[in-house]
Structure 1
Amino acid sequence: MKTHVKALVVGGGAVGTSIAYHLARAGWSDVMLLERDELTSGSTWHAAGLLPYFNMSFATTHIHDYSIKFYKTLEEETGLNAGFFVVGNLRMAQTQERMDEYMLYAATAETVDVPYEWMSPAQIKERWPLVRTEDLKGAIYHPTDGYINPADVTMAMAKGARQRGVVIERKWQVDGYEWAGDHWDVTVTKMVERGGNLVPSEEKEVIQAEHVVTATGNHAQRTARLLGLKIPAIPVEHQYIVTEPDPALVEWRKTNEQHPVLRDADAKWYVREERGGWILGPYERNAPARFLYDVPEAFRADLFPLDLDRIEEEYMSMIHRIPSSETVGLKDDYNGPICYTPDGNPLLGPAPGLRNMWLAEGFSFGITAAGGAGKYLADLMVEGEAEIDMASLDPKRYGSWMTTEYAARKNEEAYEHVYILHHPDEERPACRPLRTAPAYDRQKALGAQFGCVNGWERPNYYGPLDADENFDHDARSFRRGGWWPYAVEEAKAIREGVGLIDATAFTKHVVKGPGATAFLDWFTCNKLPKVGRINLTYALTSAGTTRTEYTIVRLAEDEYYLVSAGAWTAYDADYLRKAAEDKAPEFGYIEIQDVTSQWGVYAIAGPKSRDVLNELICDAEPETALSNKRFPWLTMRNIELKMCPVRAIRVAYTGELGWELHHPIEMGRYLWDQLMQADEKHGVKPVGARAQNWLRQEKSYRAFGTELGRDATPVEADLPRFIDLSKDFHGKDEMQEIGVRSKCVTLLIDGPEDCDPWGREALYDGDVRVGRLTSGGYSVAFGKSIGMGYVRPDLAVPGQKLKVRMLDQLWDAEITEDSPYDPKNETIRKDG
């Protein structure tokens, strides 16, 4: 066995072999893969092998698309047939709402060039007469995918990896990881067969690896324990059954190609052809999580007992949809563990807090994702960044607050939601509320309907109280939901009066010490503010794209308060700390503190916001304390609002006169009550995140995770005013070398009367697709839909007419000037 390698991949399923293959293809010649048993002996062996394109995520759609195309090339390269049956995928809809979901998905698919076709019930019946269609609304059909043999594709990738120099060792288990400063010492033990079990022997080795990738599937909790991490990848039972041959299918196949994969999402199942019969795979309720702490030594390529009672409803619905299956007997059954994560997306990227340790865990659709996961993770490792923004898959999207119980319950929920309508405004209920700000109960009593951001409960909007029996707070829609008119009123309140937003979920860090100023000057692309001032700035990746957006408040010469997106606390903390550790020898001591849970935040905004604060402020000259002279725009002051000390920042994400009120979190309820007491006099209205999102688009404020990400530079985001090219900063040369491939713009849209864009739609110039939206919503200032997105640079000019795809139609859109609402920032600078 080799004991010194460039990269060690741990895990020999489809994901691990793909990573090893793609690392070698990317030019790393010294790669080794370890598998504790046999290749494919984990979840890969009992996977059904489906390759569903369907995904609402831009990044994940890219990953699935790459996999499907890549698998078709393996036989030519390796001589092994990967068992890919390109039979197509028919995803049926029983309701118009399901068709709305497909239309929104299709808008995302279109931006990645995924082919699809729409089919009516009559067209389905004519082409595939075994399917009952009278209760269908229609379907979306993908002609280029189908299903694949998981073992065959894994072996083909393994052969391709070996051909490129990868060493694959079986029956070796990792028992320890230790970072030695510039490499990992990985202790491994030879596994041997004994009494039908696989057990450790006395033979051990230590492998020195510059990089390690864990792709350990169902064993992710053991991996987490060895690395001292929390990894919310826990398996859930997934069962499917195989029927005896269906005479009607056998007869039909005499004159037809293989039947396409069928998905009846409203019935929560997939069905595909298998040796003249059918495979039914349901995603039923109450499937339990397994192996919360470890996989038993005796569990190898094993299965759980089938629970037919649990899938009876789905089985009967298959008989309804394919009537000929009613008299067909059962041939085989499978009930095996499939790893999930709380949001259903894999954990793919650098491990938190560790150097050169990469995670590839939690693949609930591992066969579909394996090819693309290997390609884009290899890009991250070899090139420093991938061509797509991988943040939505990053392992650090879950913080240290996450527990085993949380992961298990949320993973069960993610399994159950595979075929539940994926509304853009959906909020899943499991494990909530968990992280709550002090005013949570106050807000709930006012009708707040909450969303979940990094575990925090955050008001999305304030609807009517429960006494209104005609309003369903749980109603979701792909169009304007029941919440929409309430968000409109909230947005109007900020534009016309005063609104109060709970922004406690914001990520907050303190960076201080002798090296803090030099470090942050190198780490971010804008000038650093003077003491008492603030600046908006960006930290770049090594490839020159946008890694994080920060509002930086300078508290002292060598002390800074950094505010960033609430969804990315661990993600931002890890990057910040690792960068500071790297630069400390050059710049001096740098101390970083995550103070997110120490500070609550209320944002008060609107023409009357100063009037409200004047009622509360304790100052020798209260009438001038908040004036432009004493408290200018883009400054910070320590003030007192009655009995609450406040770090007040004069900035407003809504683009109105306003302040962020950062306060000791334990005083959050008191301060909320004081602010809301001004309601009777000034009309203070509590406002949720949805209205805020609309308002920031009227100001063309970019948001991290939508307009800002690792697939575009700040220049491409059209933010030159926040880039100081007179200084050196991390990623500067790479950013300039990229140039401008596309450019961020704001558009006003004449869309349908009952729908606004969600930020996933394709943009057209005539018949040519020229870009995509990244955000969308409604503008109360202009009385129409609004969106932000990226287009070809030559089209990024105000007045340019485009089209946007919504509900499978093209609607008129026009690029506006940046900040179409109050472009001169007169309202935000209003004096008083």
Structure 2
Amino acid sequence: MECGLPTSTGRRSRSPIGSRKPSTVRGHGRPVLRSGEPLNQQRHQRGRPDAAPRAVLRPSHPGPRGPPEAHAGHVGLPRGHVGRGAAGPVDPGLRLRRLRGAAPGQVLGERSRCRVPRLAGRRGEDLNDGDVSNVDQARAVIVGGGVAGASIAYHLTDLGWTDVVLAERSDLTSGSTFHSAGLVGQLRSSVSLTRMMMYSVELYRRLKAETGVDPGWHEVGSLRLASSAERIEELQRLAGWGRTFGLPLAIVSTEEALERFPLFDPEGVLGAAHLPTDGYVDPSGLTMALAEGARRRGCRILTGARITGIDIHDGLVRGVTFDGRDPIRTDVVVDAGGIFANQLGRMAGVEVPVVPFAHQYLLTEPIDGVHPALPTLRDPDRLVYFRAEAGGGLVAGGYEREPAPWAWDEQGPSAGFNNELLPADWPRFEPLAEGCFGVIPAMQSAGVVRMINGPEAFTPDGEFILGASDIGGFFVAAGFCAHGIAGAGGVGKVMAEWITRGRPELDVWKMDFRRFGRHYRSRTYARDRASEVYATYYDIHYPGEERRAGRPLKMAPTYARLADLGAEFGEKAGWERPNWFATNQDERFEELRPRGWAGRHWSTAIPAEHLATRERAGLFDETSFAKIEVSGPDACPFLQRICANDVDVPPGRVVYTQLLNERGGIESDLTATRLDPRRYLLITGTAFGNHDLAWIRGQARPADDVDVRDVTSSLACLALWGPRARDILTSATPADLSNETFPYMSQQDIVVGDVPCLALRVTYVGELGWELYPPMEFGLKLWDILLEAGRPLGMVPAGYRAIDSLRLEKGYRAWGADITPEETPLEAGLGFAVKLDKGEFTGRDAVRQAAATDPGKRLSCLVLADPRSVALGNEPVFADGEVVGRVTSGGVGYTVGKSIAFAYLPTDLAWGGSSLAVEVFGERVDAEVAADPLFDPTGDRIRS
């Protein structure tokens, strides 16, 4: 059990289906990081989310949690003591001197070779049966002998790829693995990541019996403390989320938590979450067990084998070269290089945006009451974690508000940084130390054996980096954000499936290497984004919350104009996008504010913009949408082969379609507009352009005469929707916009004012309207023309939060939430967009087979009894007290006046009238399956 849950997020699904859920901008009780600026000192304080930032040398909590006498003196440690006295802080210089003096020998050089026996690495020769010096070819070469590389080798050999080499520049575990704290928490921020963690636990349980090597797995459970009402709400949400996986997560009282971990101070603690199947593992032991399993199936392990180059020919991997040994011929290279991942990536011509951060924790001397069966403990309000250490001591660390990126620039870590630690940084650790002492008072009198300070690779969005690159045969598995030990089993399984089968079983788009745009090539941008991820690791992440680092970066031509209109900007894939406009706020709608978390980042402008679009018209800037041009003599047959719908239509027609994988799962959800016999324009979601571009290019065969180009930056996009849309646009163009001349799902080239536009009559909100695509340089002019034309008819500028509520009540799906590569169009209610009789296409056989049987589940529309209780995504759905599904996305439909949620349900419950319940923050709210869509089910308005 680790971080809090995000809301469901999806992509913009095209007419007539769905959208990626937009979100608001402001954080709550969180630090703000702007490009080039350090994080401020603000902390999420117990019961004081609005408290002013504290000075860095004060405790990271409002005050002691125990009786005054327990905190009257300074914290007792060998050779000195430090702490906050009852009368206030002591002299900062004295405090730091005493804290540094707590552990003899901790004044380290620029680097410090690890001398802690339990952390020492091992050489690969110990694992090989014979001489490996003459290895000159392999089916795959995995670069990096940490836990990820060993797990990939284990799983590749398990799938039958026995001719595998695991190459490590130094000793196994000598990078970040050897100094990891080893905590394993299963419940994470996404379905797929949670499943990966659960698989890891299953694997760690059996490794010793399978390999004969003890991974040091301790299934002691975990406790996550809550000391504020907000944190209790987070735990309630976690409990519901865990139930959808069958995890035995329970909310327990403070007293029950103390029975399991008697050492923590209960003062101010309101409760805890307990997950008995969590635990911790010895990172080095785990790596050795995985490596042994791989070796037994044929993997050859090379240590002291530093890679100097990756041979690329015609965009394909052909081999690797080494320092001091002969090259190895191979068609597959896996970059599992940890903090060196970007340097390895550059050898193949790709940028891997990992940023190393110095991460610290203490190893204490034995403490009375510490034993191996203690659960791991996290107190996110104090930013700290704990686990028992061999011999009766504690591991105690955390995630400070002022992170320390290390070797993050163009050069990266030096080649000689192997099996080493960084100097102890006591001033930076002091706030965490005080948090530790506040949680576990016994640490005040315990000696410190050692401060461990080692680099851990983080990513700009806090998700792993996994999968294929644009170079054929070059894969990446890196950026594990300090929970790579917990995820190692799942990472190895996913990567092995990706390499051997072309795709993993799970939907791992959030972790897909190709999600990053070109702007992540900037090391300062990647550093700033990753710094914010690290500093807010333990924060409560509320729905609609926006990260601030590195913004603004990508801006539409209208950006300044939107700002003048009071736009509250969100960010998606680097693009600034208006979530709503302050000028549309209307206090009459305050009574509609959703309860709890859903109402935190919300504005009365959202229902105002929603209703204005339904009743009159809304003007939306959608320039950030990804735009892909497919052209060439084979453009039509190529798209016919990869699209589920029939795209062999006359020029000027728009087709809504999915792109399926071989299993029939939905890889992409977009519109294809045929511009001329040899050219199509595909429109897809802002954050998924890289994914779709890679997927489409990956389907091309050598004989296909087709060109696939990203043209996102060439075209702006403004959408005009609402019952008055035709009247408004007619006043600005001589084009005939009648149904007879310009029908629904068609395209024409028109001129609006003086602006040439590609006009698509499509809808995303369930209303009459057009999307207008002018050349980018005309975007601002077009906005001004339309705004002036629409004002007299009551049109308003509107944002993405209104779009999301409009699409919900119209029943439009959101890719990444409601539809994913794990669901078929039939399960998602999109069978109308599949043409099984058009000829062969990817996924056709799987869909045809599914059509002949009961799919087992179906995406359904639920209406909650309380219109202000809003499901945010991932909540459990109950029938007769049993979990039968999980919410994929939810929100309020302001026209129908209902709280709406989508969820996959067993087919016998998926039809109108079924009575269910949705658990919203621990409370079960009655719900009913409703006919989908709730608004305009006949579609008359979009064709009016």
Bin for the TM-score computed over the shorter chain: over 0.9
1:666-692 alpha-carbon deviations (Å, 9 max, x no partner): 122222222222454122222221221
Q: Say whether residues 1:555 and 2:672 are aligned partners.
A: no
Aligned to 1:515: 634
Partner secondary structure for residue 942 of structure 2: coil
Q: Given the alignment, which residue of 761, 770, 774 partners 2:884?
A: 770
2:495 alignment partner in structure 1: 377
| 1:76 and 2:187 correspond | no
SS in structure 1 at match of 2:529: helix
Check if 1:565 corresponds to 2:681: no
- Give the equivalent residue in structure 2 for 1:409: 528
2:484 matched residue in structure 1 = 366
State the Cα deviation string for residues 650-672 of structure 1 (Å, max 9, x = none).
11110111111112111222222
Deviation at 1:753, TM superposition (A): 5.9
Q: Is the 8 A contact 2:381 2:538 kept in 1?
A: yes
Q: 1:349 Cα shift?
A: 1.0
**Who is 1:276 aligned against?**
392
Distance 2:178 2:240 in 1: 34
Which residue in the other structure is 1:195 paired with? none
Q: From 477, 496, 503, give the equivalent of 2:615.
A: 496
Aligned in 2, Cα 1:81/1:464: closer, same or farther, shift over 3 Å? farther
Which of 356, 362, 371 aligns to 2:473? It is 356
1:818 has 2:935 as partner = no
Moved more, 746-755 or 329-338: 746-755
User: Which amino acid in 2 is paired with 1:209?
Assistant: T
**Could you tell me which of 785, 796, 799 is aligned with 1:688?**
799
- Tell whether the 8 Å contact from 2:383 to 2:435 is kept in structure 1 after alignment: no
TM-score, normalising length: structure 2:
0.82
Question: CA 1:464–1:421 in 2, change beyond 3 Å: closer, same or farther?
Answer: farther
2:178 equivalent to 1:57: no
Q: Determine if the alignment matches structure 1 residue 710 to structure 2 residue 802.
A: no
Matched, 1:264 2:379: yes
Indicate the residue corresponding to 2:129 in structure 1: none
Shift of residue 779, structure 1, vs aligned partner: 1.2
Counterpart of 1:197?
none
Please give the secondary structure, in 2, of the residue aligned with 1:707.
Answer: coil
Instruction: Tell me the CA shift for residue 816 of structure 1.
Output: 2.1
The equivalent of 2:567 in structure 1 is 448
CA contact (8 A) 2:176 2:339 kept: yes
Q: 1:463 to 1:143 in 2, by over 3 A?
A: farther
Question: Aligned AA for 2:429?
Answer: I
Give 3-state SS (helix, strand or coil) of 1:616's partner.
coil
CA distance in 2 between partners of 1:824 and 1:465 (Å): 30
Identify if the C-alpha distance between structure 1 residues 750 and 715 changes in structure 2 by more than 3 Å, giving closer, same or farther.
Answer: closer
Whether 1:40 and 2:164 are equivalent positions in the alignment is: no
Structure 1 match to 2:847: 735
Decide whether the 8 Å contact of 1:509 with 1:595 is kept in 2.
Answer: yes
RMSD: 2.2
Residue type at the aligned position of 1:428: R
Aligned length: 797
Tell me the equivalent position of 2:150.
17
Report the Cα distance in structure 1 between the residues aligned to 2:237 and 2:715, rounded to whole angstroms: 38
In the TM superposition, what is the alpha-carbon distance from 1:484 to its structure 2 partner?
Answer: 4.4
Distance 1:814 1:651 in 2: 31
Q: Which of 656, 663, 666 is matched with 1:543 structurally?
A: 663
Q: Deviation of residue 222 (structure 1)?
A: 0.8
Counterpart of 2:508 in structure 1 is 390
Question: What residue number does 2:46 align with?
Answer: none
Q: CA deviation at 1:499?
A: 1.1
Q: 1:219-239, CA deviations, whole angstroms, 9 ceiling, x for partnerless residues?
A: 012112101112111211111
Q: Return closer, same or farther for 1:413/1:820 CA change in 2, 3 Å cut-off.
A: same
The 5 A counterparts of 1:156-555 are 156-180=289-313, 184-189=317-322, 200=323, 203-247=324-368, 249=369, 253=371, 258-274=373-389, 275-292=391-408, 293-351=411-469, 353-364=470-481, 365-402=483-520, 403-463=522-582, 478-528=597-647, 529-555=649-675
- Give the AA of the match of 1:235: P
Offset from partner CA, 1:782-811 (integer Å, 9 cap, x none): 212111221223322222222222112222
2:762 corresponds to 1:651: yes
Of 679, 694, 697 in structure 2, the residue corresponding to residue 574 of structure 1 is: 694
CA distance in 1, matches of 2:888, 2:196: 18
- Residues 741, 808 of structure 1: alpha-carbon distance in 2 compared, 3 angstrom cutoff: farther
Pairing 1:110–2:110 present:
no
- Cα distance, 1:503–1:476 mapped onto 2, change above 3 Å: farther
* In structure 2, C-alpha distance between the alignment counterparts of 1:128 and 1:228, rounded to whole Å: 50
SS at match of 1:574: helix
Q: Secondary structure at the match of 2:331?
A: strand
Q: Deviations over 1:93-117 (max 9, x none)?
A: 1111122222333333222222211
Tell me the secondary structure at the aligned position of residue 27 of structure 1: coil
The structure showing larger relative contact order (alpha-carbon pairs under 8 Å, at least 6 residues apart) is 2
CA–CA distance in 2 between the matches of 1:441 and 1:533?
34
Aligned to 2:683, the other structure's residue is in SS state: strand
Aligned-residue offset at 1:640:
1.2
d(CA) in 2 for partners of 1:752 and 1:42? Answer: 52
Distance in 1, matches of 2:417 and 2:795, equals 60
- The 8 Å contact of residues 285 and 310 in structure 1, kept in 2 or not, is answered as no
Q: Read off the aligned partner of 1:665 and give its amino acid letter.
A: M
Deviations 1:229-250 (A, max 9, x none): 1211121111111222224x35
Which amino acid is the alignment partner of residue 426 of structure 2? L
Offset, 1:132: 1.6
Distance in 1 between the 2:258 and 2:562 partners? 52
Paired letter, 1:300: N
2:808 is matched with 697
- SS in structure 2 opposite 1:332? strand
Alpha-carbon distance in 2 for matches of 1:783, 1:91: 37
The aligned runs of 1:752-791 (5 Å cut-off) are 754-791=868-905
Structure 2 distance, partners of 1:243, 1:233, is: 31
| Alpha-carbon contact 2:312-2:348 (below 8 Å) kept | no
1:789-808 paired onto structure 2 within 5 Å: 789-808=903-922
Code of the residue aligned with 1:563 in structure 2: it is I
TM-score normalized by the length of structure 1:
0.92
Change (3 A) 1:742 1:662: farther
Distance 2:289 2:903 in 1: 39
Partners of 2:325 and 2:285 in 1: CA distance: 31
Is contact 1:707-1:744 (8 Å) kept? no
Letter in 1 for 2:480: F
Match of 2:184, SS state, is: coil
Provide the C-alpha distance between the structure 2 equivalents of 1:93 and 1:501, rounded to a whole number of angstroms: 41
Distance 1:268 1:741, change over 3 A: farther
Task: Determine if contact 1:220/1:234 at 8 Å carries over to the other structure.
Answer: no
1:455-500 C-alpha deviation (Å, 9 max, x unpaired): 111112223699x9xx9xxx99623224143222221121222112
CA displacement at 1:778 relative to structure 2: 0.8
- Aligned residue identity for 1:369: G
Hey, what's the Cα distance between the residues in 2 that align with 1:495 and 1:411?
Answer: 40
- Inter-partner Cα distance in structure 1 for 2:902 and 2:200: 29
2:439 partner amino acid: R
- 1:95 and 2:231 correspond: no
What is the alpha-carbon distance in structure 2 between the residues aligned to residue 697 and residue 142 of structure 1? Answer: 34
